[in-house]
Amino acid sequence: MPLAETHLAVWMLVFARLAGWTWLDPLAGRLPPVLRLGLAATLAAALAPAVSAAVPPPFSVQGVLALAMEALWGAALALCVRLVFAAVSAGFAWFGHTASGGLLTLTAEQAEPMDAAWRALAGWLAAMAFLAASGHLLVVDALRDSFTAMPVALLPAAADLRTLAEAGGWLIAAGVALALPLLALALLVQLAFGLFARGSPGIDMFSAGLGIAALGVLAGWVWAVPLVAHTISPAIEALGGWLGTLMPR
């Protein structure tokens, strides 16, 4: 291929991986589709000059298959980060149900908007902690290292796939570790409901539930932000470290 076409093919493959990442990344996924593509194109222009690989013509059958494979790789990397956010969101949603004693959830139709509000709160909390821990910079470093660990248009070895799966499993464990303190706090609030009901049978549990739930949310907010920031940073660093171990191969 001519030199200009080679550069275009490399840029398109890098762009495909980054576009797959922006599609599932918890932070980039909040942007409109046009801004996501613009972010992927900008990062591809910055990272493509450092990528050196023999690539197929971009408009051939092999080139289209390579583009699809790169998009899947980018989505897989973003999925590792999204698992952490999903665990936090699930923990907050469960916390919302138990903190109210189940009194505010009567039907599935009523539970759905409550879950959406709790998941939105958990998403913003995790996003702020992620940015505070410089997680966005660590993700960009991991993406840059991924082009060395997993060259474009090449299928990785089985050992490399196992290493990447181990990194993803470590991130799942980190997400569960983030959600467990919230679940413990929710159980304590549930215990407080039981003590109230046992000590004062005539108390209005609906009104008490609102107050205790508000205090529980405030305590969870103050407690969770440093915890999330402390846990997300080593999780992303571990992913970058595992990618780094693949580079000499």
203-241: pLDDT as tens digits: 665 555 556 666 666 666 666 656 655 655 565 566 556
pLDDT-based confidence at residue 247 (cuts at 50, 70, 90): very low
Rounded mean pLDDT of the chain?
69
Q: Report pLDDT digits (tens) over 97-155.
A: 555 555 444 455 555 565 666 667 666 766 776 676 666 777 777 778 777 767 776 66
d(CA 31, CA 39): 10
For residue 171 the two structure tokens come to 């991130």
Better-predicted residue by pLDDT, 39 or 160:
39
Between 12 and 248, name the one with better pLDDT: 12
pTM higher than 0.75, yes or no? no
Residue type for position 37? L
User: Whose structure tokens read 């464990």?
Assistant: 173
Question: Minimal CA–CA distance to 153: which of 223, 69, 78?
Answer: 69
**Nearest 10 degrees: CA dihedral of 95, 97, 100, 105?**
160
> 237, 41, 71: which is closest to 141 by C-alpha?
237
Whether the CB-CB separation of 56 and 153 falls below 8 Å is answered with yes
Please give the distance of CA 175 from its chain centroid, rounded to a whole number: 9
Does the structure show a pLDDT above 70 at 180? no
Q: Tell me the pLDDT tens digit for each residue of 62-113.
A: 878 888 888 888 887 787 777 767 766 666 666 655 555 554 444 555 555 6
Contact 245, 233 (CB under 8 A): no
DSSP H helices in the chain? 3-24, 33-47, 61-99, 108-132, 135-149, 158-199, 205-246
**Measuring CA to CA, which residue among 235, 242, 224 is closest to residue 84?**
235
Which residue type does 68 have? A
What is the number of other CB atoms lying within 10 angstroms of the CB of residue 249? 10
Query: What would the two tokens of residue 79 be?
Result: 């999925």
pLDDT of residue 239: 58
Q: How many CB atoms lie within 10 A of CB 107?
A: 7
